[in-house]
Structure 1
Amino acid sequence: MIDNAPTPANPAPMKHPAKPVLIHCKGHPNIRASHAKTFEVTRDLDLTASGTCIIGVDAQYDEAALLALRGAVQMTLRCGPYEDTATARINPKYQAGAPLIWRRMPTPEPRTFCIGLDKGASQLNRDLIKALQQEGAELEITVAPLETQDSEGDGILYLVGTPIGNMDDFSPRALSVLQSVDMVLCEDTRTTKELLSPFGIEAHLTAFHDHNERARTPEMIDRLRQGARLALVSDAGMPLISDPGFPLVRAVREAGLTVTAVPGPDAVTTALSIAGIPPDDFRFMGFLPRKPTLRRSRFEELRATPYTCVFYEAPHRIEKTLSEIAEILPDRDIALCRNLTKFGEKVLTGPAAEVLARIEAGEAVNGELVLILAGAPPKDDTPDAPADAGALDRMLESLVAAGLPTKALGDALAKATGIPRRDGFAKVQAMKDALE
């Protein structure tokens, strides 16, 4: 299904609010602030002495406002008359529900609010820290964008896996990311809206499908360069797996920008895990060709392939497809998986002719189908035994009598019969000794 909503030819660049955000915390007697590489504030009300990076408890803040920040920021920390400042950059991977941790490391990491911090807890004003240990102490942190720096290159593209049928398979991390990003790119905005609505997520959705992805990719690269957080989803499963997105991901990589995955369910590995067909060596081949001649050619190419093949197929073509497999690859087992993780999930297994007979007898094949084809059986590489062992011995005796080297004859005998080389050498040597 394609969302044909019109898209502006030159959409305006994405702008982010540049307003300071205030974080209110309370002090605690166990605040140590001895960690050299991080500091943190927590929503928890209590603190043990082992929390060496924590400088405030009972943190209160507007998470949506923090999610809107981009690029370089300055933190101003105040407790009574004492004050200190620190600088860092907003972590592109910061998402809803993540803790407020500032880290000195420069690379984006999960569970981190800011990266590239210029000082850890142990370098903060010690009078400020002592004040935070007093009863009734309060900490106020102002996080303000630095006007002298921008968010160039701080954007991130998430590839987010969505359920293939069972909504309980939607991971908490996927939901958090989709709630946190500036825009969700989707095959069909109506489908994705229905997918997110039960979770209370009102994301900015935009159509991104096979018919417009190449035209829209430059726009998305510009947005990422300006610091945007984007998520790409398919209607079901992982993006790019027989779904749009590859040109965008390649362009993001070539531009030196950040792309990461939020793994989720996918029909390929789900089907392989329950099919009962060897999954250790497989190739996913996407949708089978629609034209019968091309489809038959594909099956002809697979006559000798030793690996398992996985396809997607449409219900209205499955009977014709199974008929062709039964004709071209009659001895190969298949597994036909339908409605994976949903009501009516079923796996039909056996030779294609047998599965086809069950369908023709009334077995339903509605819904989304994954077709798994077992690989060709391994060839028997064991050399055939000679039809006449006596004839072989007589030929060998004549070669020994002719004076051919013992080692060469032993090697040839071992190769021809499959016996160990030492046994071949011993047999030739015995014949040579007998002739002498």
Structure 2
Amino acid sequence: MSAELMRLRCHGHRDIRATHTKTLEFTTSSEITGRATCVIGVGATLDGPAPSRLAGPLRITLSVGDHTFTVRALAHSAWRPGSGAVVRLSSERLPNTLATDADHASSDLPRDLLHALTDPDAEITVVVERDTEAAEARLVLYRAGDERDDRLAAEIAAADTVIAEDAGAGRVITVLGADADPWDAVLPAIAEGGRVLAVSTEDTRSAPVGKLLAAPDRPAVEVIGLPAELAVAALSPYPVPVLLAPHERRRQIGRLLGAHRLSRVVFRAPAAELPKILDEAGRTLGVRTVAVTAATSAAAERPWWGPVTEAAAQVTGGGDVLCCVDPAEEVPEGAADSDVDLSALVRALAAQSVSSKTLALALASLPTWSRKRAYEFVLEAAKAQARQPKDDTSR
């Protein structure tokens, strides 16, 4: 069974080509040219009230005369009726995107159906339903604010299980008229191919979410409500501090990763340079897993996480990418890089005449810090201190 969420009315057009291999679109415009190769319906209007939001798996069925065509896809819960409704095979969520991860594009339409769509008098009905037969395990990490959020309400309606990761999240869920499920409902829901919504208002991670992210067969993950730099870090199974370095120069990234082996390090780089950066990180530092995404808001909700050797292939095209490198070494129980800026601390102690040898020996006593690494870190901190302009005390 499926539950109807929205219905559109469109009509045909003589210039409908339906040759696009990556998208399909229902446009509100009544006129198109042959270049609009993804359009399969023009003059789209809502038939009935506008939906508040759409979320979760969808069945989108186009009907014209005796012809029908059904697409399965994943709703983009930020979409609102406007200039059109685009359905994409990719996971890119632009403002006009109704749904992503579709199983068909416009080029997949049967040719007899395409012929019917080229008739300007053809009446087209598009029914959008909740796909209750979809069974892909999915974890949605949702950072909520204090205000009433209709996008969150839609995600709650589409979820099989909803958990509150902190007290504030529990209050937000209650305001929306829903109840949080018990944490022990999470793993069974995922095992059955369900959709789990984990709502948070703080920088915390509940035990069930941590277990899901660390599981060998972890589900697909979406991240909603976080800036791109934090969204790409949210996929990591390691509960260690996040170091944001989006403006670090290319040649400094390797040193940064080496100095923070027990942190999640987020950096920005041109897509063309990512393979070299990650190859070096894997070979010299032992980095095993990373998360990557195009550095755009359209891609931030669907980062990719996996082996470092496969990461560069996940980002196509030009532009910049955001990458979160997981800890390069096993994280000992209870041990992780602190939030202390070690570079600043070393410089401050050196200014108090603490010797480089003493500083290096102190760092070498930390988990995963070798003596060689510690001496290199102290020397680099000293060089950085020397490069800083000295205060003018003559005035």
The TM-score normalised by the length of structure 2 is 0.47
| Richer in strand (by share) | 2
TM-score, normalised to structure 1's length? 0.43
Task: Determine which structure has more spread, i.e. the larger CA radius of gyration.
Answer: 1
